[in-house]
A and B are shown apart, each in its own frame.
Chain A
């Protein structure tokens, strides 16, 4: 029997009560939120529960909502049950002042680099990660470029020295 979104939601609310909330269904995919203290518990439950079996971490990424007070950063997990072919998405929110979220890399080895990427671009501090350093950007960088407060370069600027690229 294929597991349905209602079944997953029911299981989660039975287990975690009010700690899981904001259930919605976007384009067929169940999506919910949980408290950031609970992210590992929820993931472990989804992974271990025999009838759920979300053993595959498809994607992990960050999102920055600068206008949400104390919920500026989100970490979004996409999980996949390959046998039943069901996908779910869940999010945890954290404040930009204390961006600490527990690492998923002990449960899913795939999360290792994805968390490093999220740290690199959003500055989310994954607690318990064994090697949390920048991955795509240079180590010397002192800001987190995908946060909304860093605008893209103004394409009309004229003060830049482009001589090395033949446009001087």
Chain B
């Protein structure tokens, strides 16, 4: 025995697989996820996910907060499309309170929600490009996310965690700048989206990388509780906007794209087509808004003085408005008793809010149905037997958002 002899740990010869700790902080996972993978060479034998690294106990916090103070919590679920979360929450409150919103408010909401859907999908799709080795497309579309954020900024004053809107509508009417920026977006974004599409859609390398990677059958996807683009890529045409229309989605013409195999390529195509459809919806909504004339064209909230915050000018100058502002902010208005489940089509699928009110000022129990959390369970099944690099691609094409998963 010479001095170069290496003593191997006991049992190491018998173990033929390598254990790889992917995450919690790894540049390829786009978020705080940990995956403990057993690899045979480059093939994934099994994987086990650990979630909860950014768990912030929103459901517990919400039990002590009045309605308006819960909106900022929903921002931080799927932070790529916060306005959908905000509006989903406001729609849930409106359902509980029995508030009926005017048509113009619905259409304005639809514009904002579809813009955020585009922002959400363009990130996901361009990141799929980046992870498969094509960085350029990401840069093409990224500047239009900036433009979307500028529109949000114009409407509500913030960009990423928007806290947009109020129960019954918006905090202020859309300014002319907002509409000008929207027109600019409608005109220019199709070009950039077309560029992204022509870079990747029929690209031999991209197709070889994505076709057949991370597939799931429609049956398994349903059993795993998939919703949103990931379910539609597997071939099920379930969309909350069509099945249970909210915010007047029934007034719009649009198609629901479906895939067949539920693999990475189908998910890419479904998201891509959904962006085109969202553009189509926004155009219709914008047209409908322009048809309002006179007083109707100025409506931006429903008449619900108990829950809609009074104007800031009035709060500073009038006693009555100041009192109401205080009462609403401090949550001194009791909610009606009841149990509501309301869901909206979020960026990743059915985002549900299950609210139990016991008649107090804050919810008795609030549960978020987070689509990400539910479909991430299928990940080991989807990547079993595939290459490690395809497993990474599957993770990004599922559009996993840590904030939504961990609530």
Contacts and interface: CB of A to CB of B under 8 A. Distances in A.
Do A and B pair up? The answer is: yes
Interface of A: 26-27, 29, 31, 55-59, 61, 63-64, 76, 78, 82, 85, 87, 89, 108-110, 112-114, 117, 121, 135-137, 145-146, 152
B8 interface: no
Contact of A87 (B51, B63, B341): B341
22 contacts: A26-B338, A27-B338, A27-B339, A29-B341, A59-B352, A63-B364, A78-B354, A78-B369, A85-B243, A89-B341, A109-B378, A110-B224, A113-B376, A114-B374, A117-B373, A121-B59, A135-B52, A136-B51, A136-B406, A136-B407, A137-B52, A145-B57
Contacts of A55: 222
Interface string B29-72: 00000000000000000000001100101011101100000000
A61 to B, nearest CB: 4
Q: Is the interface of B mostly helix, strand, loop or mixed?
A: mixed
B100 to A, nearest CB: 14
Interface in B343-364: 343, 350, 352, 354, 356, 364
Contacts of B223: 108-110
The 6 lowest CB-CB distance pairs between A and B, nearest first, are A110-B225, A136-B52, A61-B367, A136-B55, A59-B369, A109-B223
Given A57-B225, A87-B341, A135-B51, 5 more contacts: A56-B225, A63-B356, A63-B364, A64-B365, A85-B243
Interface residues of B, number: 40
A58 B64 CA distance: 26
Nearest to B374: A110
A89 B222 CA distance: 18
A86 B51 CA distance: 32
A58 B338 contact: no
B95 interface: yes
Contacts of A82: 222, 236, 238, 243
Interface in B61-89: 61, 63-64
Contacts of A76: 354
A145 B60 CA distance: 8
A108 B226 CA distance: 11
Contact of B350 (A31, A58, A121): A58
Interface string B92-103: 000110000000
A64 B60 CA distance: 12
B340 interface: yes
B198 interface: no
Interface in B203-250: 220, 222-225, 236, 238, 243-244
A65 B60 CA distance: 14
B225 A58 contact: yes
A39 to B, nearest CB: 18
B377 A61 contact: no
Contacts of B352: 58-59, 78
A44 to B, nearest CB: 14
Nearest to B378: A109
A112 B367 contact: no
Most buried by A among B51, B59, B224, B374: B374
